[in-house]
Amino acid sequence: MLSVGLLMLSLLAPNLQGQTLNSVKDYFGSSLARLQKEDFEGAINDLTKAIELDPHYVEAFFVRGQLLFLRKRDLDRALADYDKVIALAPNAPRVELIYNNRSVIRQLKGDRDGALRDLNQAININPKYAEAYSDRGLIRAASEDLEGAASDYEKAIELNPKLTPAYINRGILRFQLEKLSGALSDYSKALELTPNSAKTYVERGIVRSITGDVGEGIADMKKGFTLNPESVSEKDPGDFSSPFKNLNRFIAAHPTNARAYEARGLLRLVQGHKAEATRDFRKSLELDPKLKSEIDRVMNAAL
């Protein structure tokens, strides 16, 4: 759930001098025209040519880095372009956004310490940068600094009360800490702000199920599945959180919570994996036989 938006191209103004000025502008302008047509490969090629003509063309490095990351998922080349932007323009307006974007790539590459350094730098440059606090909270939570993560999420929401990822991230943290009412509140707020977030529906459905509101829980899970079937997938999507991953973490931390197994069974039913769901329901009943009538109703409805 990290914030990686395309920035306005005017944030980093190029410093173009010399005889190649017109050619560089031509290639850069062509790259923007290709972007409008969603010709991302062509845009990257034009930007590369512009950089060959002017190796100090900051804006071209930035735009190419964004495309390599967001469209090509070429983390190594994108990281190199972000490195170049920071080296060439360390004091550029809004350079903290580049540090934040670079932190995302470093986190994806497993360099958590480097990602944390980048976010610290982004916050040092702009102490009111809400997205950086939210993203730093994710890294702190992954490093088991739960108090630091909670503080970062609170700060992000204080600075930007409409920052959806901060509510989602805080909801995930509260869920893992078994602060379920707080998690439910955060997911509901996130859905007010971003009504079509499939994963958030699934996350809220899990919490509702664990708190005993099974009907609403299933409704949320189905809503998430309708919006995006991958939202209920057991496969690791390679991002920083997925509802199934978060539920598995909760079960690992609370292995005697019968309703957590029931919730996972419900998720598997929504997936269409009845055999796997049945195993989770059996485990749930071992821990709490009183759930039998409820689980029977769910299973009969799924037949």
Angle (CA) 59 91 123, round 5°: 105
Residue 220 predicted with pLDDT over 50: yes
pLDDT at 24: 86
Q: Which amino acid is at 44?
A: I
- Give per-residue pLDDT as tens, 100-142: 999 999 999 999 999 999 999 999 999 999 999 999 999 999 8
Angle (CA) 13 15 18, round 5°: 150
Are the beta carbons of 32 and 169 closer than 8 angstroms? no
Instruction: Please give the share of the chain, as a percent, with pLDDT higher than 70.
Output: 90
Secondary element (H or E) of residue 188: helix 180-193
Mean pLDDT for all residues in the chain: 89
- Give per-residue pLDDT as tens, 167-199: 999 999 999 999 999 999 999 999 999 999 999
Please, what CATH class does the domain formed by 1-90 belong to?
mainly alpha
Sequence-ordered strand ranges (E) for 211-255? none
Residue 14 predicted with pLDDT over 90: no
Averaged pLDDT, 88-109: 92
pLDDT at 36: 87
Domain boundaries, the chain: 1-90
Please compute Rg for the chain using Cα positions: 23
Q: Determine which of 96-100, 150-154, 185-189 has the lowest per-residue pLDDT on average.
A: 96-100
pLDDT at 152: 98
Coil, helix or strand for 14? coil
Q: Determine which of 52-61, 78-87, 230-239, 288-297 has the lowest per-residue pLDDT on average.
A: 230-239
Tokens of 240: 């920083």
Residue 8 predicted with pLDDT over 70: no
